[in-house]
Chains A and B, each alone.
Chain A
Amino acid sequence: MTKKGLILLLTILMMMGTVLPVFAQGAAEATAPAKEIELRWASIWVGADSKAGPVAAIVEEFNAANAGKIKVVIEPQPDYNAYEQKVRTSLAAGIAPADIFTIKLNPTTAEFYNSNLLMDFSKVFTGSWKSSFEAGSVNQSTIGGKLKSLPFETAILPMWYNMDILAKVGVTKVPQTVDEFWSLMDKLKAAGITATSQMTGDTNAWTSMIWFSHFAVSLGGPDVWSKPFTDPAFVQAAEYIKRMIVNYSTADAIGLGAGGSGGHFLAGRTAVFSNGPWYAGRADLAATPFFKNITIAGLPGFGSTSNYMISRIQANICAAASKDAAREAAIVKFLQFLTSPEKVKSIAQPSGAMFAVKTDAKPANHLQVQFTQLANSVAVSAPDFEAAMGAEATKEFTQQLSALALGKITAQEFTKLVALKINQD
């Protein structure tokens, strides 16, 4: 090849180097037609998700009403873990993952609030729009005076009691006192029935983490997460969760994932289970012979706090900041539409999901009814461990929970080891 040829090749490569980042950086801007503003929504409510249908209908309705002006395009994100990775890496690379996207707001993801890529809703989130949201959820989503994500899907995390199994040991109502609770556990064990579906696997030991959160909040009060993790409330909660895993759970609890934990309950192998309202809409649950005899309730007060519930904001909605005022206005217009009580009701009713927006939705099945009643009846609610402590502490919690259950470490050592990750700079 001649020198001219070499220069030509290098020029082409340099041009490609210049052009490619344009595609990578601003897909939103690059794809937006001159007249119509196209908004990309990286949505997790797609595929088999119980909210997928109503959400798609809302988008369709919005697009029809704003034809030629704004068009919302759903980018399906069916794998939540992969989606979370996408959000993290995109923001780290200085790119918003989409015009609209969701996060699970916790101490780890609160870091996103330091990003200029996220729109701050605090100036536009006023009046009737603001008052249609539950104030507590809005407060939880406001950090340093900024509202860079809108609280949307919420959840309470109670216990699920298979009353058919409880009836086998002569128990007809959920335990109201700690003595009744241990008595139930012992009766089930004596009858050869596995009482609960515990687990120490996955990245958050999900169902056991919920149990632990119940114990901790009851023992230490709703503000327990602000205490040092070596506080006696956590040590005692650790003792309780160990007892549950060792004495009253399936043999495979250590190392088991959420699929296995839920699978035991669905198969009728365990009597008590813990999970959020989204589980109530499952077709495989509805197909179980005990579906109609599931009672949703809390645990009795193991400490001084009773009539409490563990809750979390399951999904916060974020939007990409833009220098284009019209684009930001379009985002706000769509989010106001999506979060209007009428639209939220249309999602809540068939799916049974709970939301930070106040609606008069009437849940579809008896479990969803129980969820709503329970959420409205408790005196106080507090977040679960993961929501309160973030990703890294939760992973350490999971790792050390196995050690605790196997007797490799004491409850005090467990809390100290987890505390190291919480206090890590």
Chain B
Amino acid sequence: MPRLLFLLPVLVLFIGFFIYPFLFTLGTSLTRWRGIGSMQFNGLKNYTRLLADPTFRLAMKNNLIWALAQGFIQVPLAALVAMILLRQPKGWQTLRTVYFLPNVISTVAIAMMWTALYNVQYGFINEVLVKFFKREPINFLGNPDFALGAVIFQAVIYIGYFMIVILAAGMNIPRELYEAAEIDGASVFQQERYITIPMLRGTLVTTVTLAMAYGIRHFEATYLMTQGGPMHSTTTMGIDLYDKMDALRYSDASTEGVLLIIFGSVMIVVIRKIFGKSDPMSEMAQ
């Protein structure tokens, strides 16, 4: 009983702020409701309509791209930098702070800065392209061929958060292992390959899972930079959902919310299946 009591405050909050809203969203997704007046039961029609909607399908694809980019570009980059810093080169503590700094700056400020950098007429990137590479300026955020890549790029290069997590885990690897490997004649690459990566495997799985979860729920930067455009090319499920709420299509927005949760859950299950025993959550569950 005392153990349950310790859990009670969190349980109350979890029920109030997740279980209840989720059940409400699930219920609303089965109705016709525009936010005003009574709800009318609509069965699974919202789901069939949404799954046939090309904008929704594009949003789902974009979410998957975001998740993969964050999980398999951002995290490996963070791991690479963390492994270099673990070797404690000169000035590593300063570099650690510098890499982490963007994480304390608001998404809004960063999005505004990148919008300016990408500007086709006055942006620094286009100035470099024109002056040094003699290329035509590119409308990064206005051209559907570039927009998604441009928005993802400005997010994945900020590796500070995951770098710190991996760095912290790496600090706990016993130094003796490296000393022994060095005596055995292992190169730096071999030390990383056979000591650091295996020892960090659990942390890496966790960070990949977290990064992909961030990717799945991505909203802010894209909404600030492109509002999901042009031609819905940068629309994510979060943006599509928000647009539906904006148009008072609450039941459609709820349907998309439920599908977003299902999509995220399936993705997490798949990651855990792929990484199997390395997943610390799996180990704890056993």
Contacts and interface: CB of A to CB of B under 8 A. Distances in A.
A399 interface: yes
B36 A200 contact: no
A115 interface: yes
Given A13-B12, A92-B35, A111-B36, 9 more contacts: A1-B5, A92-B250, A112-B36, A201-B142, A254-B139, A255-B139, A392-B249, A395-B227, A406-B230
A255 B142 contact: yes
11 contacts: A91-B36, A109-B248, A201-B142, A201-B226, A202-B227, A254-B143, A254-B230, A255-B143, A256-B142, A390-B247, A402-B142
Leading 8 A-B pairs by shortest Cβ distance: A255-B142, A402-B230, A254-B142, A92-B35, A392-B247, A403-B231, A252-B120, A115-B36
Interface in A382-407: 390-392, 395, 398-400, 402-403, 406
A6 interface: yes
B229 A201 contact: yes
Contacts of A402: 142, 144, 229-231
Contacts of B137: 251
B91 interface: no
B36 A92 contact: yes
A252 B229 contact: no
Given A254-B143, A255-B142, A399-B230, A391 B5 contact: no
Interface residues of B, number: 35
Contacts of A406: 143-144, 230-231
B227 A250 contact: no
Contacts of B220: none
B243 A392 contact: yes
Q: Taking each of B120, B147, B230, which has the highest tally of chain A beta carbons within 10 Å of its own beta carbon? A: B230
Interface string A399-425: 110110010100000000000000000
Contacts of A88: 35, 245-246, 248
B89 interface: no
Contacts of A203: 227, 246
A111 B35 contact: yes
A364 interface: no
Contacts of A252: 119-122, 139, 142
B160 to A, nearest CB: 28
B7 to A, nearest CB: 12
Interface residues of A, number: 36
A114 interface: yes
Contacts of A255: 139, 141-143, 147, 226, 229-230
A312 to B, nearest CB: 18
A403 B144 contact: yes
A108 interface: yes
Interface of A: 1, 6, 9, 13, 85, 88, 91-92, 108-109, 111-112, 114-115, 200-203, 250-256, 390-392, 395, 398-400, 402-403, 406, 408
Contacts of A13: 12
B238 interface: no
Interface string B225-243: 0111111100000000001
B34 interface: yes
Q: Taking each of A6, A13, A201, which has the highest tally of chain B beta carbons within 10 Å of its own beta carbon? A: A201
Contacts of A398: 227, 229
B37 interface: yes
B174 interface: no
B246 A408 contact: no
A400 B139 contact: no
A408 B231 contact: yes
B95 interface: no
B37 A115 contact: yes
B141 A111 contact: no
A394 B248 CA distance: 14
Contacts of B248: 88, 108-109, 111, 391
A251 B119 CA distance: 10
A111 B36 CA distance: 7
Nearest to A402: B230
A92 to B, nearest CB: 4
Q: Taking each of B37, B137, B246, which has the highest tally of chain A beta carbons within 10 Å of its own beta carbon? A: B246
Contacts of B249: 392
B87 to A, nearest CB: 43
Contacts of A395: 227, 243, 246-247
Contacts of A400: 231
A402 B248 CA distance: 25
A399 B232 CA distance: 6
A251 B231 contact: no
